[in-house]
A and B are shown apart, each in its own frame.
Chain A
Amino acid sequence: MSDIPAIEVRGLRRVFDVRQGLFAKPRQVVAVDDVSFSVPAGSVLGIVGESGCGKTTLARMILGLLPPSSGDVLIDGQRLGDLDRRARARLIQPVFQDPFSSLNPRRRVRDIVAMPLVAQGNIAGDEVKRRVGEALERVGLSAEQGSRYPSQLSGGQRQRVAIARALVLRPRIVVCDEPTSALDVSVQAQILNLLAELRKDLGLTYLFISHNLAVVEHVASEVAVMYLGRIVERNESEALFAHPQHPYTRALLDSVLTPEPGLGVPDVGLGDTMPDPANIPPGCRFHPRCPLAFERCSHETPKLTPNEAGFVECLLAEE
């Protein structure tokens, strides 16, 4: 393994202007705010956080689908903006959340899987056919299923098609944006195991985005917790789940439903106000919901600081 990180993100920030009407001033929504991290080749970084925390915006910037407002994305040591579309496709591929919208309903499965190969423009027809067959077999689909349309497949099969499409160019990195959250529970495990198996066999690096902590714990070697556009804690997966340091991480872990039926939804002390990325609180952005907030939190902004094992962005941890 080389020392160059597979993904390196430096000071990434993305601001959206949201129009509120013809005469109103557009509001600025900071979806991702000064995020930096790196993912070593061959590892899996899980990103967790509640809806609207900027996970998907981050993924779209890393995939090159959305230009950052500022900051850099480096894929395999090269700036994303400097790569041409074909070179980028050979390095990094996506698996999206909803397999019902991620496959073109008007194309056959084998044409969908062949798309990245065809886009390269220099791969012969026979070779394309062979590699599509190989990719389908690898994700557990038959050649016969290759001639079907996506609407003739189940959700799990569709997600396998999406994975085959992502792998057919043999990329180094796969960005999985909630790859199982649209699937039935019984199928989720199959897809997760398939992803884990493929990673081992092909030496892939994953950026794995999810709001499902159990899924992230299962696949990730390192976990980053996002809150309102920032990474508030990052640590080795085991350490993070065993000793969460940020109050938000703790709340997230406590919010996982227990199999005990009588307990109901656990109260984690976060209150019921949802955070608003257009109106980020001063000081620590988590302080209005934080059960441990004290006076300094409302005006002093914590920095992502390393301690024994990981990184935490909390004034309590800085002391």
Chain B
Amino acid sequence: MSVTVVPGTGAARRLLRNIGFVVGATIVGVTLIVAILAPWITPYDPFAVDLVHRLVPPSFMEDGTPANFLGTDQLGRDYLSRLIYGARISMIIGIATVITSGIIGTTLGILGGFYGGRMDDVVMFLITARLSIPVVLVALAVAGLLGSSFILVILVLGLLLWDRFAVVARSTTMQIRTLDYVSAAWCAGSSQASVLLREILPNIATHLAVVATLEMALAILLEAALSFLGLGVPAPLPSWGLMIAEAKEYMFFTPWVILVPGIALFVLVLGVNLLGDALRDLLGTDLNR
């Protein structure tokens, strides 16, 4: 029995009473606001090199200066400013990937689940084919052939992370298309487009929202991993993964250079996952991963 949430006050109140949702939404919300406002709230230009003040510790540590709250990196760039711009990159990657892969996966999944037969065979083949392609290998090939760029990272992730959207959209569509309200829509003379968009899509949307949070967390982590390997966002862009990669040479002497972006990454992914778990619980969706 699937539980459906009635849009309205009851659902909103239940969401606010869920600690996971509140914490997750706060983390994601704050990160989003910081990312949007980055040019106005950063104390320094994140690209401004100051070789005199290299690897200054954060202001709350020994030898820290109040001028650089989180210190500076190996080129003397303000760490807080880079971290804030890094949030921008993570959020853009996360959201753009979810939108691209969401559109591809949902379209394929609905078509397969709705029409069945040959169409479903094709969709299932595409899903299987996609699952057998390792993302890092593709990213490596793309970076080798075309060089690394911000847009390419978004494209690689967006075009490769649609499988879970497709699987969930397909199975939920299969369940829903046999329900009486879909039959009633056919009998009412509705067109195929109208049945798909008005009857089926709104009823699988909650399931897809949960998948979206999972994919967003995955995309943010993958971007960091790819950037760490040098296959993702190119320097000097302040991606968190790139910051960790650049910091790894210094981490035995100044461990905070690796801790700061590491903690930021951990907190953001945790927030997105908390949000997803809370949505899943509250919407009664059970995704057996």
The yes or no verdict on A and B being binding partners is: yes
- Using a CB–CB cutoff of 8 Å, the interface residues on chain A facing chain B are 60, 63-65, 85-86, 88-90, 92-94, 96-98, 101-107, 115-116, 119-120, 149, 151-152, 162, 165, 169
Q: Please, which residues of chain B bring their CB within 8 A of the CB of A102?
A: 179-181, 183-184
Query: How many residue-residue contacts, CB under 8 A, span A and B?
Result: 76
| Interface membership of B120, Cβ < 8 A | no
How distant is the Cα of A111 from the Cα of B65 in the complex, in angstroms?
63
Partner of A94, one of B183, B190, B203: B183
A165 touches B202 (CB 8 A): no
Report if A89-B4 is in contact (Cβ < 8 Å); known contacts: A101-B179, A106-B202, A119-B194.
no
| Interface membership of B187, Cβ < 8 A | yes
Question: How far apart are B196's CB and chain A's nearest CB, in angstroms?
Answer: 13
Q: Which parts of B202-239 form the interface with A (CB within 8 Å)?
A: 202-203
Q: Please, which residues of chain B bring their CB within 8 A of the CB of A103?
A: 181, 184
How distant is the Cα of A102 from the Cα of B189 in the complex, in angstroms?
15
Contact digits for B146-189, partner A, Cβ 8 Å, 1 yes 0 no:
00000000000000000000000000000000011101111111
Q: Which 3 A-B pairs have the closest CB atoms?
A: A89-B189, A102-B180, A116-B188
How distant is the Cα of A185 from the Cα of B217 in the complex, in angstroms?
51
Taking each of A119, A120, A151, which has the highest tally of chain B beta carbons within 10 Å of its own beta carbon?
A119
Partner of B184, one of A88, A92, A94: A94
Question: How far apart are A58's CB and chain B's nearest CB, in angstroms?
Answer: 14
16 A–B contacts, CB within 8 A, in A order: A63-B183, A89-B188, A90-B189, A93-B187, A93-B188, A102-B180, A104-B185, A104-B199, A106-B4, A106-B202, A106-B203, A107-B198, A115-B188, A119-B188, A165-B184, A169-B188
Residue in A closest to B179 when the chains form the complex, CB atoms = A101
A86 touches B183 (CB 8 A): no
How distant is the Cα of A104 from the Cα of B184 in the complex, in angstroms?
9
Question: How far apart are B8's CB and chain A's nearest CB, in angstroms?
Answer: 8
Q: Please, which residues of chain A bring their CB within 8 A of the CB of B9?
A: none
- Using a CB–CB cutoff of 8 Å, the interface residues on chain B facing chain A are 4, 6-8, 179-181, 183-191, 194, 198-199, 202-203
Q: Please, which residues of chain B bring their CB within 8 A of the CB of A152?
A: 6
Q: Please, which residues of chain A bring their CB within 8 A of the CB of B203?
A: 104-106
Report if A162-B6 is in contact (Cβ < 8 Å); known contacts: A88-B189, A105-B203.
no
B186 touches A65 (CB 8 A): yes
Report if A101-B180 is in contact (Cβ < 8 Å); known contacts: A119-B194, A149-B6, A152-B6.
yes
How distant is the Cα of A218 from the Cα of B283 in the complex, in angstroms?
42
B180 touches A105 (CB 8 A): no
How distant is the Cα of A215 from the Cα of B4 in the complex, in angstroms?
32
Question: How far apart are A222's CB and chain B's nearest CB, in angstroms?
Answer: 23
Partner of B4, one of A96, A105, A120, A162: A105
How distant is the Cα of A14 from the Cα of B194 in the complex, in angstroms?
28
How distant is the Cα of A136 from the Cα of B189 in the complex, in angstroms?
20
A149 touches B7 (CB 8 A): yes
Residue in A closest to B184 when the chains form the complex, CB atoms = A102
Question: How far apart are A100's CB and chain B's nearest CB, in angstroms?
Answer: 9
B180 touches A120 (CB 8 A): no
Partner of A63, one of B7, B187, B199, B202: B187
Partner of A96, one of B184, B194, B199: B184
Question: How far apart are A230's CB and chain B's nearest CB, in angstroms?
Answer: 24
A92 touches B187 (CB 8 A): yes
B183 touches A65 (CB 8 A): yes
How distant is the Cα of A62 from the Cα of B181 in the complex, in angstroms?
17
